[in-house]
């Protein structure tokens, strides 16, 4: 089975994801909808051969050892893909995410204007959060590119795997990939602090060591960008605090209050006015009031602070969803299904 031809077919349909599971034909996700491809059923041998064809020696060894492996794959003239190979029911499964070859400018992402302002921050921690497939990597790449075109700085990205490939413009950009260039995010981040960076992108704050080092880097004068799999700002703050033992949490609240600059939480919607996707975005900016809330463990007040500070550029997820709906961009049922407060939003949309 020719994986490159499968990927070309998927690209013709503007698919964001391709899934290959033994016993089924390949399936592609086109604007959130899973669609079987007109191709033969994949045999277990064919699925394993696809992994062997795409994976590096290191990635293949990791797959054989752990039954899971993340790596990237490129097709000449087509593009790059983020790949996860895994086992399910004793046979190989493959999930592939298409990575756009060109970093889109922030202005093309339908993001609120305040996101562009975050690229002017000199230091601190900026988190872009959301579920898998919500566009976090694209938003971060666009922010890095904006800084690359504006500043003469040293930017280091730590990724799993490397997605967008940057070209150094005014800034010098180094990109390190987990497994190929570094053994772990924590190890790479510790050494990055000795590599004279101005801006550090950490692909994901997935464990305590990485989170602690990211906050230390932000506290010592670097601008740190990273992601978490959380759905809103208050959950993001609590997730970070909960990573630490209870005896350290007050200290970490104080540290996070000092270093956090913003939380951007994204949810992608299928557009109804034209083909494509559009994000609903919650934005929390760390004003003095927000820093006090974090320090004093009153994160339940964050939602109210967002609602009452729209003039500063903050916005709630439901306000963003409502705006998309009233602009005719998304479906009513989709809007209500993804709302933080579905009943309240339903009343608002009916008004």
This prediction has a pTM of 0.86
What are the backbone dihedrals phi and psi of residue 77, each rounded to the nearest 5 degrees, phi first? 80, 0
Task: Name the 3-class secondary structure at 297.
Answer: coil
Structure tokens at 284: 């929390």
Q: Which of 296, 293, 342 is nearest to 317 (CA)?
A: 342
**DSSP output for 93-153:** EEEEEEE-SSPPPGGGTT--HHHHHHTT--SEEEEEEESTTSSHHHHHHHHHHHHHHH---
- Rounded to whole angstroms, the Cα distance separating 71 from 179 reads 9
| Sign of the dihedral through C-alpha 250, 254, 255, 260 | positive
Confidence at residue 233, expressed as pLDDT on a 0 to 100 scale: 96
* Other CB atoms within 10 Å distance of the CB of residue 196: 9
Q: How far is CA 337 from the centre of its chain?
A: 21
What is the C-alpha separation between 166 and 111, in angstroms, rounded?
21
Kindly state the DSSP code that residue 175 receives in the 8-state scheme. Answer: E
Structure tokens at 211: 């989170």
Whole-number pLDDT of residue 321? 97
d(CA 10, CA 27): 9
**Tokens standing for residue 57:** 């020696």
- Averaged over successive runs of 10 residues, the pLDDT of the chain (351 residues) comes to 93 94 95 92 96 94 94 89 94 92 89 97 98 92 97 95 89 92 94 96 95 96 97 96 96 97 96 93 98 97 96 97 97 95 94 73
pLDDT at 1: 75
- The pLDDT of residue 205: 95
Sorted by where each starts, the structural domains of the chain and their CATH numbers stand as: 3-99 (3.30.450.90), 106-350 (3.40.50.300)
The pLDDT score that the predictor gives to residue 201 is 98
Helix (H) or strand (E) holding 186: helix 185-192
Report residue 280: phi and psi, to 5°: -95, 135
Cis peptide, bond prior to residue 272, ω within 30 of zero: no
pLDDT at 298: 97
């Amino acid at each position: 089975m020719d994986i490159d031809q499968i990927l070309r077919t998927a690209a013709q349909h503007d698919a964001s994801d391709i899934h290959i599971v033994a016993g089924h034909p390949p399936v592609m996700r086109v604007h959130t909808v899973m669609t079987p491809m007109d191709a033969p059923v994949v045999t277990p041998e064919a699925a394993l051969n696809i992994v062997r064809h795409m994976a590096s020696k290191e990635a293949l060894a990791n797959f054989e050892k752990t039954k899971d492996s993340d790596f990237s794959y490129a097709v000449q003239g087509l593009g790059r893909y983020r790949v996860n190979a895994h086992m399910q029911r004793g046979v190989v499964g493959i999930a592939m995410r298409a990575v756009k070859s060109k970093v889109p400018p922030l202005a093309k992402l339908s993001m609120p204007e305040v996101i562009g302002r975050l690229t002017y921050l000199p230091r601190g921690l900026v988190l872009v959060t959301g579920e898998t497939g919500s566009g976090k990597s694209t938003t971060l790449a666009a922010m890095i590119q904006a800084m690359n075109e504006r500043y003469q700085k040293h930017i280091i990205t730590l990724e799993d795997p490397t997605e967008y490939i940057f070209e150094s413009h005014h800034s010098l950009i180094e990109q390190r990939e987990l497994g190929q260039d570094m053994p772990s995010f924590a190890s790479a981040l510790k050494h990055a602090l000795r590599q004279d960076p101005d801006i550090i992108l950490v692909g994901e704050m997935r464990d305590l060591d990485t989170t602690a080092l990211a906050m230390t880097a932000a506290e010592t004068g670097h601008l740190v960008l990273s992601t978490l799999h959380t759905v809103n700002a208050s959950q993001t703050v609590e997730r970070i605090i909960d990573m630490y033992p209870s005896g350290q949490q007050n200290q970490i609240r104080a540290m996070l209050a000092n270093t956090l600059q913003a939380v951007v939480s994204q949810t992608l919607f299928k557009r109804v006015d034209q083909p494509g996707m559009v994000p609903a975005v919650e934005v929390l900016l760390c004003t003095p009031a927000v820093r006090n809330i974090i320090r004093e463990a009153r994160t339940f007040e964050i939602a109210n602070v967002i609602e009452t500070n729209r003039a500063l550029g903050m916005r709630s997820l439901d306000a963003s969803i409502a705006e998309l709906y009233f602009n005719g961009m998304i479906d009513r049922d989709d809007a209500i299904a993804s709302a933080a407060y579905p009943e309240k939003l339903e009343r608002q949309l009916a008004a």
